[in-house]
Amino acid sequence: MSDQPLIVQSDRTLLLEVDHPRAVQCRQAIAPFAELERSPEHIHTYRLTPLGLWNARAAGHDAEQVIDALLRYSRYEVPHALLVDVAETMDRYGRLQLANDPAHGLVLQALDIAVLEEVLRSKKIASMLGARVDDTTVLVHPSERGHLKQALLKLGWPAEDVAGYVDGERHPIALYAEGWQPRNYQNEAAEGFWHGGSGVVVLPCGAGKTVVGALAMALAQATTLILVTNTVAARQWREELLRRTTLTAEEIGEYSGARKEVRPVTIATYQVLTMKRQGRYPHLDVLDARDWGLIIYDEVHLLPAPVFRFTADIQSRRRLGLTATLLREDGKEGDVFSLIGPKRYDAPWRDIEAQGYIAPADCVEVRLSLSETDRMAYAMAEPTDRYRLASCAHDKVRIVQALVDQHDDDRVLVIGQYLEQLEELGSTLQAPVITGATPVRERERLFAAFRAGEEPVLVVSKVANFSIDLPEAGVAIQVSGAFGSRQEEAQRLGRILRPKADGRTARFYSLVTRDTVDADFAQHRQRFLAEQGYAYRIIDAEEVESDKS
C-alpha cells in the first residue's frame, strides 16, 4: 500500500480521492483513457471502456503509458488481470487496416490472419466485402468504407483507416497574420488532426474551436463544407472566417432554412440537412454534389442520425469534428469514432484556464425545497410529469431575481428548458426571452444588444446552448435542463468562459429542487464538469435571499 490517490479495481472502475494532494496530476494522467461515471464530494468513480482505450490508442497513447499511469497513482496493487485486459483491449485496435492498394484499390488488410477469418464469418461484414486477394487482404467497395468501420467496431475489432483521402476541389485559403497569432494549442490541435487525416478535436467552449477549423482549412487548401447547429452559429462562423482568413464574402455560402448558397466554403445547418421530403433528404444530395476537400462538423457530439448516414458515404473526404465534449446522450460515441474519426487532440479545461485563455469559473448549486402544496402535487404526479414540476418550482423565479440583483453590474444569462417558465422569468426580470420561435434576425439583434450592454439580462432556452459567442457574459443561472444531459451542462458553462478584461471569475448557478428527480438529474449533469476539475459548491436558497437583503 502507498499514499496515492487512486484505487484500481478488477471491475474496471477507478476510484479517485478528490482531496488528495496528487489528485489533479492523477486526473490529468487518466483523463485520456478513463471516463468519469460518478462525482460526489470526496471520491470520483471512473471506468475503463474499450472505446476510451481505443481512442487513447488512436491518439498515440500506447498500453505501456496507460499501465504506467495506473501503477504510478494506485494506492494498492493493481489487479494483474486488469493490466492484461488493458493491454489486450488496446492491441485490438489496428489489427485490421483499411488501406489503398495500388493494384486493387480499397482493401481490408489483416496484421492477424485469425482476426480476418473471424470477421469474415459475420454475414453483415461479408456482404460489404469483395473478392479475397490473398490470405491477409480482401477487396472493399469504396461506398462501404464507413459502414465497414462501424460494423468492425461493434465486433470489437476497430479498423485503423490508412486508406488516405481525395484532395477535393482546390481553393486557396490563408490566415491573416495582422494583429493576432493562433495559440499554441490551436496549432497543435490542427496539426494533430491533419497528420491523422480525420478525427475529433476536443477543446473547451470559448477556447477558439473556430480558429482550429480555419487552421485546418488553410492546411487543406480546398473547398470546405462546415456543418453547424443553427443559423446564428452559421453567421458567427462566417464572421470569424472573414476576420481571420483571406476568404471574401463572395466565397462563403450559407445553406440554411433562409438561404441556399453553395460556394467554395459553404456553411450548412444540421436542421436543413435533416429536412425530409417524401422519404428522402434532398439537401444531403445537394451538398454531396460538390467535390469537397474538407468537411468540418461543429458541435460534433450533436450530429443527427441522417448526417451520420451521409458521413458514412464520404469517407474519402477529410473530416474534422469540433466539440467541447465527446459525450453523447444517445450512446453513439462509437459512430463518431468510426465515421468522423478518433480523438486527435484533447485539452483539459483547467489547462486552458491556467494559460489565461478561458475564465476561471465558480460553480454553485443552489438547493431549494418545494412548498407543501407543490410537494403533494409532485408526489401524486405521473413519473413522466415529475421532472417538469420539480424544474419549474415557482420559488425558482424568486431565487433568480435575487441572484440577478446580486450581479447587477454584470451580464447575466438565465437558461432554461420550459417555455412557460422562461416567459414568467422574462416578465419578472423585465428581460427579453429568446427561444426557438424567436426569428434569427431578432436573436442576432438581442445578442448584439447584450454584447453592447444595452440588455444586461437575457432569458434563453436551449437555443443558446450551442455556438453562441457572448464573451461579455459573466453569470449564467440554469433553472432547468434536458434531464441529465452532461453535454448540455458543458455547453451552458461554456457560454460564460470567455476571459474577462478585468480577470474576474465567471459564475455558474444551477437551481435544483431537493428530494426530487431534479436533484438526481443535476448530479448526473455535473459529472462532466467534475471530470474537468470544476467542483460545485452547494448552498441553500435561503443564503441567496439573505445576501440580497
pLDDT of the residue at 483: 54
CA distances from 214 to 182, 225, 509 (A): 10, 12, 33
Contact 458, 450 (CB under 8 A): yes
- Residue 295's φ and ψ, nearest 5 degrees, are -125, 125
Rounded Cα gap, residues 425 and 396, in angstroms: 9
Measured from the Cβ of residue 46, the count of other Cβ atoms closer than 10 Å reads 25
CA distance 228 to 235: 10
The pLDDT value given to residue 142: 86
Question: At residue 136, what are phi and psi to the nearest 5 degrees?
Answer: -110, 5
pLDDT at 412: 92
Distance CA 74, CA 63 (A): 16
How far apart are the C-alpha atoms of 446 and 239, rounded to whole Å?
A: 17
Provide the pLDDT for residue 531: 65
For the record, the C-alpha cell of 3 comes out as 499514499
| Secondary structure (DSSP) of 166-231 | ---SB----B--TT----HHHHHHHHHHHHHSSEEEE--TTS-HHHHHHHHHHHH-B-EEEEESSH
Interacting residues of 68 by C-beta distance below 8 A, sequence separation 6+:
none
The grid coordinates of residue 526 equal 455535473
Q: How many other C-beta atoms lie within 10 A of the C-beta of residue 522?
A: 23
| 3 state SS of 264 | coil
d(CA 9, CA 1): 14
Q: What is the pTM of this model?
A: 0.79
Domain parsing of the chain, residue ranges: 6-91, 96-161, 184-352, 359-548
Question: 184-352 and 359-548 share one CATH topology?
Answer: yes
Rounded to a whole number of angstroms, the distance between the first and last alpha carbons of the chain is 52
What pLDDT is attached to residue 453? 87
Query: In whole angstroms, what is the distance from residue 272 CA to residue 256 CA?
Result: 6
Q: Give the C-alpha separation, 376 to 397, whole Å.
A: 20
| Dist. CA 457–CA 475, nearest whole Å | 10
| CATH fold label, 184-352 | Rossmann fold (3.40.50)
Over the chain (549 residues), the average pLDDT of each successive run of 10 is 89 92 90 78 86 89 95 95 95 94 92 93 89 93 90 93 91 83 92 91 86 95 92 89 93 90 92 81 78 91 78 87 77 83 82 82 89 88 88 91 92 90 94 90 89 91 69 85 65 74 83 88 73 76 75
Q: What is the full DSSP assignment across 2-70?
A: -S-SEEE-TTSEEEEETTSTTHHHHHHHHTTTEEEEE--SSEEEEEE-HHHHHHHHHTT--HHHHHHHH
CA–CA distances in Å: residue 452 to residues 413, 441, 455, 470 = 14, 17, 8, 10
CB 492 within 8 A of CB 466: no
Q: Give me the pLDDT at residue 487, please.
A: 65
359-548 folds as Rossmann fold (3.40.50)
What's the CATH number for 96-161? Answer: 3.30.70
d(CA 138, CA 43) in angstroms, rounded, equals 49
Q: Of the candidates 111, 121, 161, 157, which has an alpha carbon nearest to the alpha carbon of residue 140?
A: 161
How far does CA 357 lie from the centroid of its chain? 19
